[in-house]
Structure 1
């Protein structure tokens, strides 16, 4: 195959012409509408459909900016997974959910990967496969987007990313753009591929093997493929930057000349993990010390004159409040980083099959086809060991501060032992997800010029999530214990709690080693199982062809109808539904369904041809009527203008409306509970800084709360988040304006596109701080958000806050995309230079009256870019790629009552380098060797306690925003055709 460079022509890499069984192979070598293409010289390029429009074209023109990422280009960059390819693109802004969030509650559950274009959220990015919708998949109630891990990379030919809002063409969800994954649907013979990704520091290795076999007949084709992939875990201790939780600071907090978060002996930053080996006592925190046996004297340096001396309580001493927050051997968890994952462990198995058969129908050629996809994912997600701190009644005989000890005269005290769960609970969550998509359709010619394409599709995802948990009712029944007549520790109400087994949570083995008697564990533990099912069906039919001739050419049109139905049914374990899992959130059943019916039309009118200053002008108009059972109906529209001024300059502009009806989880999410700091209560110590007449002061006083309320501490506030069937649909306006330069007699193309997307009525969950703040700053509790706050308890503390989903405000993303391609054929080799970049000018949110400018903040660097250099020499191809992220920063956090900034709040500009070499043998085998992150650049460190509205700090850095967590990695790929 000889290279044919269509310099300055737009992306043409999409679905092939309807009814054709002998389409030429096209392989895009770069991005946007400046791609180079390899085609067989003796084959004519036929009409195709480009993502962004449903009208087929016989000229390589595109109204919308489309980025094309080919399989080969991704392979040369050492990217093996579809999620890595998409999340690493320059228009994927904000924090992307990937496998580095294995220990967190995320949409779709652990192991699910999603992509957010323009930083507007994965639920506002439409993902298609061969132009067809896939259903969401995952576990738990918040399933709302396509899980990219369900797409085996072995079948992907290329990915097309439409950088326009396109609800009028593709329906709801296409607010920020459309991702269309194009698969390799035809194969002749057997193809075997094996790949591996091997980080040089170890951990996070991936292995993949796939095989595709197919046959192509005279008027039919069939193929089947299998793909197996394994990803090893990467734990925090595998990398120096994450081996322990640090709080990096840049100033001396106490004025002694030393940065306070550094060890005074080694000078290294200290680990700040979860503490254990403590009890909350009437003396404050007290730690367990096995040397403080009964009768200990002040000769023991840890002797406490109150606990051990005045009251004679053994084994415990007060915490030494030294200059370092975690000084001492019992202050941090040194074991969790050994199992806490930065990258989760998973295995995936996929089967795919495609077939088509040409038939004669009404005297013309039609093609019957199917596309079948099956995928199974098994993920083990471990965020570390759980911290356990049950409240042990004062009457419990093992409570050293209770009514059975020296403090009995004071009525005893109920206290909390603080221990870690390394020998109590099996850590982590196990996820199994099976999902399938099947499409059966027919496409062909209705008349000489009009074509049709119709299909039906079904999708189903079944997932389970398993975790070992402690049951609250059994735990507290076992802690309500007494000594029986034989001197044994037994449950007080053994008759009411059959099988109850009591245990001592204050022993050395429990507090320091995490060991509890097996019989006790068998009683209080349960292997919980939740199940999630997401299913859907769809029907689509489109008709397209010429309408009439104008003075400038042929007018075209496409008409279509679509029907979709989706259903979710998530059933957490019954104990989660009962809110009976200790120190873990509760979850209700999420169940609901929705149906949408749509009709759309797209028209294209040539306005000028071969005129002065207008070699070609084309106007494209599209409209869609949508009717949801849940939302109601609406109409969206789009107008595009494509103006080829001369052979060098092409102008294009798009303006359209979009809307997104609330998805199933946003409407029907069962109540999920969580906890926030009690210090968010506006009434805590309200008399210190407020005076009568202030709404907060007056509101708190009206509740009978003292001005120093909460000075001794307040408990956490429970939040309840659920769906909202009364949500309004999100609406948006999208504008794109750009130009393409293709100077004649050069192999150079340059494209610039300005984008502006504004979203209204965005759906989100209000924070606890906003709900209570808006309520308590309103005179006489007149804010409507006061209805979301439950009555205070008998001690005056806040209890439940309703943080259910609602329409919260406006979001806007505005900026520029730049694309450049230059090709040059030298006497001995060919060179390609390919650059793409995005400049964010504004990333804005207005949520319930609060305004946030996010551009330049964590996760939204003002500039992101990719530059690839490719050289071809005989059977060899050499690649050097560079990925760039500009600096980012948050508003600084200052020391109390000073202007002394003490935390790292910024990241410097970062550049990653990747290189590879490919050899293609005449004997139909190929090998690619790549080195990613050539210079082993580490991710930037940012401080804990540094506020951010745009990204979450984990592992001392910012995962999911483009920084490499793995380090220098060797990637090997081998393929052989038979």
Structure 2
């Protein structure tokens, strides 16, 4: 039994084996087979026989097993050729994966990176490390990919399609399983340096891995430590993004919070701008170009440590442990702060008030010339509401420099357990794990509303009315430079917040076979049964300023303290039964069944189940299929997040412009939503396309239900040695989906006659929208918002085909490896509520298109209809040359969005320019060359975006702020340009 047990432990772990062979790993994606799950036997120790394996997608260990679910593998050598530094960069370029928050997201990056399989949202896929869950990064249960130690990753298994029966909730769209190298022995040092052709965006990374086998193979200890630092790439340093371009007009534009100041006195004249030469208020003539301050690559720093050990303490008993520690720092850099259209009280006797502004304020508040002069010359101490006037101010604090937020995440996770064999046919694995993640944010350069207001209440240039000796009177009415360093220092109080999460797991699995086979088969029927307990806790804390609505200028939503927790108890079972083997037309026929019972402390109990199988009519063709009933319980964020007002993305407002003056029904709606009568005719859309929404958790949410099925074929023809082809169709439907309507959906529910016959202003869809009581806009105060509540009213469905082709041939003078991995997405549809439109977002982009039901933070990414990666590699004696071709299909602006803008009863709300409604297909080529200088040293040079292809220009108001930035989509299209990476590996 000792020999059997040792073979199982040395060749496999609970969820997949050891290393891939060097040259086959050049394939960008390969389908998982027995070979890719166990690795090249030639690399295993000579005295270790081949043993049981378990592939991602099932818990059963069987030496002849391949799962009925499609699992693709990205090998260690592919990671080395790409010279990617974080896992998110690798995953977002894979066909079938939609870009999520990552290194190319600046405004909207909270310090973590996520993966989004099938575009269903990062909360619907699961990220594992060696088959074990990782502690989430936030309230939504999403795992931060920045923590993955790539230096020790042997390969990445990507299972697309439902996997909740095997792994539990969160695996509706699939699983990403990072497999680390096993039984590492020796010392390995990896170092790399990356820089763009323009000389910016430098990335440095170094990793050291060491390991040793113990007691003649009875155990092993491995340790890997690493450091990485990436510098920013500013949008002002790329031609496509030097100036912010309005997607509707095609003209250079920008934010309405600018220099000189813009202000609205509430007198019906709308928002006007100061003319410094005359001191008068005139129609707006200048916006603020915020692009040069923003970045295409966020600054990033990481320290990581990973260790693993195992030891066979007795026959049939092995103790093992695994530990991960990571400290990362992500910095976001955005344009200077400002007053952003908030309402302030300004004294008539302010020493900084230009005569033109004073006269306009007096006229707006009914003061004649004599009263105005008396108010201006008064020496009375300013008191808000007595000798002051109100106005919404939009003045940029350019003198204060950029706003910088530093997100520092510290994470640790430890797992330990016992595993082994009980007899010849039964194995066990019992483990427990605990992890904590803490993300701390420190932001500077923002300024506080209360201090800005206090500094405005002054009748001289040295003291403020509040009696605070530190307060410095503030001059917002001068040209750039009128805010002195002393003035801004009083406003600029750093703010802090923290999110802490923890995950505790206890799990036990019994797996093996029944010791007998069905009458028509040779292999025994395999099974796995087990139970698992998980407890999630998440809490956020912040300083008083961050918790107060509108207090931190330009910060979006307030961040009140909150906490949530839940636990889940689960039991599961799987069976894989070979039915017929080694018969004509039935080389192998296997049935796969599974079920899981889950009991959530918040959402009650539910069942999930799966049924699948493989049919191999010959030894070179396999037909496989899998059907699953999946569920997902609401996460902590969806349940417990407090109601807050934050920023969304939408370039127009149905109440903007002159339309409400002539359209009585439209006017009535605008007034019912809280717009003052004086604002009708002068309401404007938020100039930088960031109006307010209102979101929060819903304790009444229930479980969402999904059906997923896949059907495919794997061909490895004997008559074409070295060729493997796999094609799989997938279909995922989610009902009772936990979702939010898009901003456009919420507006359309009120302003489109098809949704609101007669444009009834008392319709709840209209009255739920609240407007700025001073300007009538949907921005400028936390009291103005469009509500986007969570509910179980959504429906999501997507389907498509994954295709992989791999071919290997010895050309005598070199070895040729060809690989192709492609995805065709037929549909990706989302209906937020039964009354909402059905949005089809495959091949389309807009403010409303992106990850269906993924929440506002992930809306707006791009999902092409067709994408592929093709790699060609020639391997000579000591040199490998490899070319990777990445393809993204053509895209189009969402036709439904055009239709909605043309039918919202406001002729002033135009769709984007025709030239921005199309994006041509993109072709990128990456060239990598590896030199084996000695047996222990190799050197790799990678040129990414070999032909320096520019990203498409579509303007800056056509999509969400997170993904439509710098006039393009930098998470999908390469905005950095040609860049070079140099990597070295030294082994002992």
Equivalent position to 2:618, from 643, 646, 654: 646
Q: Does 1:819 align with 2:804?
A: yes
Q: Does 1:968 align with 2:978?
A: yes
Task: Rate the CA distance shift 1:882–1:588 in 2: closer, same or farther, 3 A.
Answer: same
Alpha-carbon distance in 1 for matches of 2:818, 2:926: 15
Q: CA-to-partner distance for each residue in 1:755-785, whole Å, 9 max, x for gaps?
A: 0001112223334554465367378777665
Q: CA-to-partner distance for each residue in 1:832-863, whole Å, 9 max, x for gaps?
A: 11111000111111122211111111312111
Q: Which residue of 2 aligns with 1:302?
A: none
Task: Tell which deviates more after alignment, 527-536 or 621-630.
Answer: 527-536
Alpha-carbon distance in 1 for matches of 2:228, 2:180: 18
Equivalent position to 1:532, from 486, 495, 499: 499
Q: Does 1:114 align with 2:101?
A: no
* Pairwise CA distance, 1:81: 2.3
Q: Does 1:959 align with 2:953?
A: no
Task: Rate the CA distance shift 1:817–1:114 in 2: closer, same or farther, 3 A.
Answer: same
Q: Which residue of 2 aligns with 1:444?
A: 420
Q: Does 1:661 align with 2:633?
A: yes
Alpha-carbon distance in 2 for matches of 1:18, 1:490: 70
User: Do 2:708 and 2:732's aligned partners in 1 also have CA atoms closer than 8 Å?
Assistant: yes
Alpha-carbon distance in 2 for matches of 1:565, 1:405: 59
Q: Which residue of 1 aligns with 2:323?
A: 372
Alpha-carbon distance in 2 for matches of 1:791, 1:503: 28
Matches within 5 A, 1:672-751: 672-674=644-646, 680=653, 710-713=680-683, 718-747=692-721, 748-751=723-726
Alpha-carbon distance in 2 for matches of 1:403, 1:974: 70
Q: Does 1:40 align with 2:46?
A: no
Matches within 5 A, 1:120-199: 120-137=120-137, 142-199=139-196
Q: Does 1:100 align with 2:95?
A: no
Q: Which residue of 2 aligns with 1:481?
A: 458
Alpha-carbon distance in 2 for matches of 1:900, 1:532: 38
Matches within 5 A, 1:941-960: 941-946=953-958, 952-960=963-971
Alpha-carbon distance in 1 for matches of 2:457, 2:668: 41
Alpha-carbon distance in 1 for matches of 2:299, 2:202: 10
Task: Rate the CA distance shift 1:396–1:26 in 2: closer, same or farther, 3 A.
Answer: farther
Q: Which residue of 1 aligns with 2:863?
A: 860
Alpha-carbon distance in 2 for matches of 1:419, 1:125: 43
Q: Which residue of 1 aligns with 2:358?
A: 402
Task: Rate the CA distance shift 1:22–1:83 in 2: closer, same or farther, 3 A.
Answer: closer
The 3-state SS of whatever aligns with 1:576 is helix
Alpha-carbon distance in 2 for matches of 1:414, 1:535: 47
User: Do 2:656 and 2:683's aligned partners in 1 also have CA atoms closer than 8 Å?
Assistant: no
Q: CA-to-partner distance for each residue in 1:461-514, whole Å, 9 max, x for gaps?
A: 11210113322223212212235xxxx6543343xx67544233223xxx3126
* TM-score, normalised relative to structure 1: 0.84
Task: Rate the CA distance shift 1:873–1:583 in 2: closer, same or farther, 3 A.
Answer: closer
User: Do 1:479 and 1:502's aligned partners in 2 also have CA atoms closer than 8 Å?
Assistant: yes
Unaligned runs of 5+ in 1: 1-12, 254-259, 262-268, 293-313
Q: Which residue of 2 aligns with 1:491?
A: 464
The 3-state SS of whatever aligns with 2:622 is strand
User: Do 2:261 and 2:476's aligned partners in 1 also have CA atoms closer than 8 Å?
Assistant: no
Q: Does 1:503 align with 2:488?
A: no
Alpha-carbon distance in 2 for matches of 1:359, 1:806: 52
Equivalent position to 2:12, from 1, 14, 17: 17
Equivalent position to 2:442, from 417, 441, 466: 466
Q: Which residue of 2 aligns with 1:806?
A: 791
Task: Rate the CA distance shift 1:454–1:785 in 2: closer, same or farther, 3 A.
Answer: farther
* Pairwise CA distance, 1:671: 2.7
Q: CA-to-partner distance for each residue in 1:808-833, whole Å, 9 max, x for gaps?
A: 41111111111111111122221111
Alpha-carbon distance in 1 for matches of 2:16, 2:552: 58
* Pairwise CA distance, 1:723: 1.1
* Pairwise CA distance, 1:169: 0.6
Q: Does 1:572 align with 2:549?
A: no
Q: Which residue of 1 aligns with 2:228?
A: 229
User: Do 2:587 and 2:617's aligned partners in 1 also have CA atoms closer than 8 Å?
Assistant: yes
Task: Rate the CA distance shift 1:755–1:317 in 2: closer, same or farther, 3 A.
Answer: same
* Pairwise CA distance, 1:281: 6.5
User: Do 1:461 and 1:534's aligned partners in 2 also have CA atoms closer than 8 Å?
Assistant: yes
The 3-state SS of whatever aligns with 1:938 is coil
* Pairwise CA distance, 1:638: 0.4
* Pairwise CA distance, 1:17: 3.1
User: Do 2:659 and 2:681's aligned partners in 1 also have CA atoms closer than 8 Å?
Assistant: no
Equivalent position to 1:512, from 480, 484, 508: 480
* TM-score, normalised relative to structure 2: 0.83
The 3-state SS of whatever aligns with 2:452 is helix
Alpha-carbon distance in 1 for matches of 2:14, 2:814: 39
Matches within 5 A, 1:188-337: 188-217=185-214, 218=216, 219-247=218-246, 261=251, 275-280=258-263, 292=277, 314-316=278-280, 318=282, 331-333=287-289, 336-337=290-291
| More helix by percentage | 2
Alpha-carbon distance in 1 for matches of 2:738, 2:306: 36
Equivalent position to 2:346, from 363, 385, 393: 393
Alpha-carbon distance in 2 for matches of 1:530, 1:841: 42
Alpha-carbon distance in 2 for matches of 1:436, 1:675: 32
Equivalent position to 2:529, from 559, 567, 571: 559
* Pairwise CA distance, 1:424: 2.9
User: Do 1:399 and 1:506's aligned partners in 2 also have CA atoms closer than 8 Å?
Assistant: yes
User: Do 1:505 and 1:516's aligned partners in 2 also have CA atoms closer than 8 Å?
Assistant: no
Alpha-carbon distance in 2 for matches of 1:900, 1:559: 56
Task: Rate the CA distance shift 1:575–1:352 in 2: closer, same or farther, 3 A.
Answer: same
Q: Which residue of 2 aligns with 1:457?
A: 433
Alpha-carbon distance in 2 for matches of 1:230, 1:925: 24
Q: Which residue of 2 aligns with 1:764?
A: 739
Equivalent position to 1:58, from 60, 63, 70: 63
